[in-house]
C-alpha cells in the first residue's frame, strides 16, 4: 500500500524560471535513465523475489519507492523552472506574453525553438512536466529490465544507477542556478548510494558468477580475440590471470582468422589457461540448477496462495492463505 507524504524527500528549490533547462531536465523525468524508469524497473523486478528472497523484495521495493520520491522532486523542479509559463500562455490577448519570462527577444526565440522541437512541452503541458525525455520521445516500457534472476537484475540495476549518476553530472553543467545544483547533487548522490546497495545485495548471493544458472563452455570462457589491426592494447582484460582463479589465465588469440580455420570454427578448440573440465561444468550445472530451483520451490506454495500477512510483521510471505474468514 502506498502512502503519499506531501513533504518532498529533499527540499527542491530554484532561483528563478529557466524553461530551457526545464526541458533538459525532462530526461530524468521520462527518459530511459530517469527516475520513473528506475522506479518501475525495481518495482517490476521485486515481484519475482517476494517469496523466495523476501529480503531482496524489501530492498527493491524500498528503493523503487525512493525513486518515485525522486520523480516527484524532478517534476517539482521542472514545474518551478516553468513558473509563470502556464499563466502567460493563457494570456491569449497579449501578443508576446513569454517576453516576461525570458531574457528579451533572444530568450523568447529559445523558448519558441523548444516548443517547435518538442511540441508537447510548453504547448500541451503548459507549465508542467510531460512523460517524455528531453527530446519529446514518450516514456516506454522497453526501458524496464526485469529478467527474474537476481544475479542478472542486480547487475543491470548497478549499471542503471551508473547511467543515472552520470546524467545528473552532465545536467549540472547546463545550469548555474545554485539551488537547482543542490537538488541535482542530492539526486546524483543517491544514485551512488543505490549502486552500493545493489552491489552489497549481489554479494550476499553466492555463487553469483557466472550470472544465471548454467556455467560457460571452458573452451571459450578465457579466450580474447584480437579483432583490430595496428597497435594492440594489453591488460588484465586479455593477458595474465586477470579475473580468473589462481592457476588460470587469458588465452590471447593474435590471429583470429587463422585460429577459427584451424579449430574448424571453434569446434576443435583445445582450451588454454582453464582448469575446469567439461565434466566439472556438467556437474556444476546440475548442482546450481538444484540449488536455485529449491530456493524458489521451497518458498513457493501451490494455489491457493496469499501475498501478505496482516499485519506484515515479518519479511516472509505467508505460504498458505488465511481461509478462516472465507
Digits of tens for pLDDT over the chain (326 positions)? Answer: 899 999 999 999 999 998 889 999 999 999 999 999 999 999 999 999 998 999 999 999 999 999 999 999 999 999 999 886 655 545 544 545 455 455 555 555 565 555 544 555 655 666 789 999 998 899 999 999 999 999 999 999 999 999 999 999 999 999 999 999 999 999 999 999 999 999 999 999 999 999 999 999 999 999 999 999 999 999 999 999 999 999 999 999 999 999 999 999 999 999 999 999 999 999 999 999 999 999 998 887 667 888 898 999 999 888 666 666 65
Radius of gyration of the chain (CA): 26
The answer to whether 57 and 113 have CB atoms below 8 angstroms apart is no
Provide the annotated binding site.
Answer: 35, 58, 62, 67, 70, 161, 194, 226, 228, 230
Residue 247's SS3 state is coil
Q: What are the cell numbers at 326?
A: 472465507
Provide the annotated binding site for Ca(2+).
Answer: 58, 62, 226, 228, 230
Q: What are phi and psi of 253, to 5 degrees?
A: -100, 100
CATH of 19-203, one of 1.20.1260.10, 3.30.930.10, 3.30.465.10, 1.10.357.140: 1.20.1260.10
Q: What are the cell numbers at 217?
A: 563452455
Provide the annotated binding site for Mn(2+).
Answer: 35, 67, 70, 161, 194
Q: What are the cell numbers at 174?
A: 547546463
- Name the helix (H) or strand (E) containing 223: strand 223-225
The answer to whether 255 and 226 have CB atoms below 8 angstroms apart is yes
- What pLDDT was estimated at residue 93? 45
Eight-class DSSP state of 138: B
- What pLDDT was estimated at residue 75? 97
> Rounded distance, CA 314 to CA 204, Å?
20
Q: Give, in order, the Cα–Cα distances in Å from 302 to each of 3, 298, 318, 319, 320.
A: 31, 11, 12, 9, 9
Q: What are phi and psi of 85, to 5 degrees?
A: -65, -45
- What pLDDT was estimated at residue 305? 84
- Is the dihedral angle over the CA atoms 30, 33, 38, 40 positive or is it negative? positive
> Rounded distance, CA 29 to CA 74, Å?
6
Residues forming CATH 1.20.1260.10 domain(s) in the chain: 19-203
Start-end of H helices in the chain:
19-25, 27-30, 35-47, 54-81, 85-89, 104-117, 150-171, 178-203, 256-262, 278-297
> Rounded distance, CA 64 to CA 58, Å?
10
> Rounded distance, CA 124 to CA 141, Å?
22
What pTM, to 2 d.p., does this model score?
0.87
Look at the block and give the residue holding cell 540449488.
291
Amino acid at each position: 500500500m502506498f502512502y503519499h507524504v506531501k513533504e518532498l524527500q529533499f527540499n527542491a528549490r530554484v532561483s528563478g524560471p529557466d524553461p530551457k533547462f526545464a526541458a533538459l531536465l525532462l530526461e530524468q523525468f521520462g527518459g530511459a535513465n530517469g527516475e520513473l524508469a528506475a522506479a518501475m524497473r525495481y518495482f517490476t523486478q521485486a515481484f519475482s523475489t517476494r517469496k523466495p528472497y523476501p529480503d531482496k523484495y524489501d530492498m527493491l521495493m524500498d528503493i523503487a519507492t525512493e525513486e518515485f520520491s525522486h520523480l516527484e522532486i524532478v517534476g517539482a523542479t521542472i514545474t518551478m523552472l516553468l513558473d509563470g509559463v502556464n499563466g502567460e500562455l493563457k494570456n491569449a490577448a497579449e501578443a508576446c506574453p513569454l517576453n516576461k519570462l525570458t531574457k528579451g527577444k533572444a530568450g523568447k526565440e529559445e523558448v519558441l525553438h523548444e516548443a517547435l522541437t518538442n511540441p508537447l512541452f510548453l504547448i500541451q503541458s503548459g507549465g508542467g512536466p510531460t512523460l517524455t525525455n528531453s527530446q519529446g520521445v514518450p516514456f516506454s516500457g522497453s526501458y524496464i529490465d526485469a529478467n527474474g534472476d537476481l544475479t542478472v537484475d542486480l547487475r543491470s540495476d548497478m549499471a542503471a544507477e551508473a547511467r543515472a549518476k552520470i546524467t545528473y553530472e552532465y545536467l549540472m553543467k547546463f545550469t548555474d542556478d545554485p539551488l537547482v545544483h543542490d537538488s541535482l547533487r542530492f539526486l546524483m548522490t543517491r544514485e551512488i548510494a543505490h549502486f552500493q546497495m545493489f552491489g552489497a545485495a549481489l554479494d550476499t548471493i553466492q555463487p553469483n558468477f557466472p550470472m544465471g544458472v548454467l556455467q560457460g563452455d571452458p573452451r571459450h570462457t578465457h579466450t580474447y580475440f584480437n579483432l583490430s589491426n595496428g597497435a594492440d592494447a594489453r591488460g588484465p582484460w586479455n593477458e595474465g590471470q586477470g579475473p580468473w582463479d589462481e592457476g588460470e589465465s587469458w588465452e590471447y588469440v593474435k590471429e583470429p582468422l587463422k585460429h577459427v580455420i584451424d579449430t574448424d570454427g571453434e569446434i576443435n578448440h583445445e582450451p588454454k589457461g582453464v582448469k575446469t573440465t567439461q565434466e566439472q561444468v556438467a556437474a556444476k550445472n546440475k548442482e546450481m540448477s538444484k540449488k536455485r530451483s529449491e530456493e524458489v520451490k521451497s518458498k513457493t506454495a501451490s494455489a491457493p496462495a496469499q501475498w501478505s500477512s496482516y499485519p506484515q510483521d515479518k519479511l516472509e510471505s505467508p505460504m498458505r492463505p488465511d481461509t478462516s474468514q472465507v
